[in-house]
Amino acid sequence: MTNKTDRIIIFDTTLRDGEQCPGATLNIDEKLVIAKQLARLGVDVIEAGFAFASPGDFEAVKKIAQIVGTENGPIVCSLARAIKADIEAAAEALKPAVNARIHTFISTSDIHLEYQLRKSRAEVLAIAEEMVAYAKSFMTDIEFSPMDAARTDPEFLYQVLERAIAAGATTVNIPDTVGYTTPSEFGAMIKGIIENVPNIDQAIISVHGHNDLGLAVANFLEAVKNGARQLECTINGIGERAGNASLEELVMALHVRRQYFNPYLGRPEDSQESLTNIDTRQIYKTSRLVSNLTGMLVQPNKAIVGANAFAHESGIHQDGVLKNKLTYEIMDAQLIGLTDNQIVLGKHSGRNAFRTRLKELGFELSDTELNKAFVRFKEVADKKKDISDWDLEAIVNDEIQQAPDLFRVELVQVSCGSNARPTATVTLRTPEGEELTDAAIGTGPVDAVYKAINRVVNVPNQLIEFSVQSVTGGIDALGEVTIRLRYESKVFSGHAANTDIIVASAQAYVNALNRLYASLQTQQKPEEVTAQKV
């Protein structure tokens, strides 16, 4: 194993670091859905979670290891602090995976040592060496991260890395934990590690970074030029605070500019071979899936996957693109799986045609999931003449979300108008199977619906975000509603799609309330697990 590998390893941490984004909490089944899509996308490593953090995280890592961690699948990884109990939990959860990795970490910056760990440098050196060796006793693939490496004294950083590699670390990850560094500094840091850590040729250098200054992707690309060969990133760049380095931006930057990056990886400049194993045609679908399941909307001007990424309004740009796309587009939209709306199905289409088209779109559903999605498809087809690929994606993503099935919307009825007081009547089925109906008046139909739902559910909460997006054009388009609500310090998201946006609004709200309600009924994370994150 050497840093001179001629390709870039993509380490996806959407299910671990990405899930730390407020309101983006996923249940086990949702994590599995995303993990399956990440495998189709072609990521090399999936960081499935933090096994010791909670029973839910442990089960999620274990299930992903069982189902996605196949012989030809990605490496499945679990995060673990440099503590024996963490490492043991990670090892146990990862047992079903054919290819598994324990990712252990400890802080190394002086500010963290003084105020968080309250340990000396000598103590941290000893712990890092001992815990890497302990992790190595469970499996051969071990990753070590010196947390807050970007603010760590270089000489001490070199010592920690040398000890970790000697103890068995096969990957050493250099995290910019607080998003503080700049590209030239980060590149110099990687170069310094290669020049000053004697045994660095025995490990892959990885990088992990946050986007607090909007520099994460630029930092990573500079790190690649200086010898980093693994990039830790998330779909849509989601994650704690301002998020992580964005997978789609990194992959497409390396793809579009591969002639520029080829020499840094020892390749001929004109080589057309991809620098990663990513199937770029799966990027847009993966982005949409993660956005829908987490409730984290993608901003229209987001690079690569934003709604405006391939849109042109300027007359000069439109004229140029019509004559030759290369005048104003540096990549083809089809390269990321963004295709024209193909109308392929309608209300007379059968189950086999439905299943076949979903397979073509990359969805692999169980019989139960297929049946649920097919029922929804027929319902939408009765209201909408033609069903596009985007509609199908919205239907499937909506149906395969596994929010706790506690309260269920049975009826939504509203009365509103320019000279009327918006009034809503809702009927919900409770977790006990009882149907409860209530009505309320609001400032608008959605407000009235939410007030009526709150009267039934009776769980205090604050609505902090409400958004509606059209899946396709046309007055009969499916509307996707995403809401986020707060209870105490926690944020819960909900998502639903329907041709009636009032109904979708009610379903999305109940979806979020179900998450909140379920959270109140389950145990909290162990008290000893702190907010320490790489």
| H-type alpha helices, 308-444 | 315-323, 351-360, 367-383, 389-400
* Strands 490-498, 479-487: pairing kind: antiparallel
- Could you give the C-alpha distances from 47 to 12, 62, 196, 487, in angstroms and in order? 6, 12, 29, 28
Where do we find the tokens 């984004």?
21
Q: CB–CB of 46/77 below 8 Å? A: yes
Q: CB–CB of 480/497 below 8 Å? A: yes
What pLDDT does 531 receive?
39
Token readout for 263 is 């020499």
Q: CB–CB of 106/128 below 8 Å? A: yes
DSSP E strand boundaries for 32-141: 45-49, 75-81, 100-107
10 Å CB burial of residue 194 (0-12, 13-18, 19+) is: middle
Token readout for 165 is 């590699």
Other CB atoms within 10 Å distance of the CB of residue 192? 15
What is the distance between the alpha carbons of residues 40 and 361, in angstroms, rounded to a whole number?
A: 11
* Strands 142-147, 9-12: pairing kind: unpaired
- Could you give the C-alpha distances from 90 to 32, 47, 49, 102, 147, in angstroms and in order? 17, 11, 9, 7, 19
What pLDDT does 289 receive?
87
Where do we find the tokens 């919205």?
394
Cα–Cα–Cα angle for 428, 434, 438, rounded to 5 degrees:
40
Q: Would you give per-residue pLDDT tens digits along the chain (534 residues)? A: 345 578 999 999 999 998 877 767 788 888 998 999 999 999 999 999 999 998 989 999 999 999 999 999 999 999 999 999 999 999 999 999 999 999 999 999 999 998 888 899 999 999 999 999 999 999 999 999 999 999 999 999 999 999 999 999 999 999 999 999 999 999 999 999 999 999 999 999 999 999 999 999 999 999 999 999 999 999 999 999 999 999 999 999 999 999 999 999 999 999 999 999 999 999 998 998 898 788 788 888 999 988 777 764 444 444 454 455 555 567 888 888 876 544 457 777 788 888 887 877 767 778 888 888 888 888 888 777 677 777 787 777 766 665 567 899 999 999 998 888 999 999 999 888 899 999 999 999 999 999 999 999 988 999 988 888 777 666 777 888 888 888 887 888 888 888 899 999 999 999 889 888 888 876 444 444 443 456
What is the distance between the alpha carbons of residues 300 and 313, in angstroms, rounded to a whole number?
A: 14
Q: CB–CB of 485/462 below 8 Å? A: yes
Number of H helices, E strands in the chain: 17, 16
What is the distance between the alpha carbons of residues 446 and 501, in angstroms, rounded to a whole number?
A: 9
Question: H or E segment at 180?
Answer: none
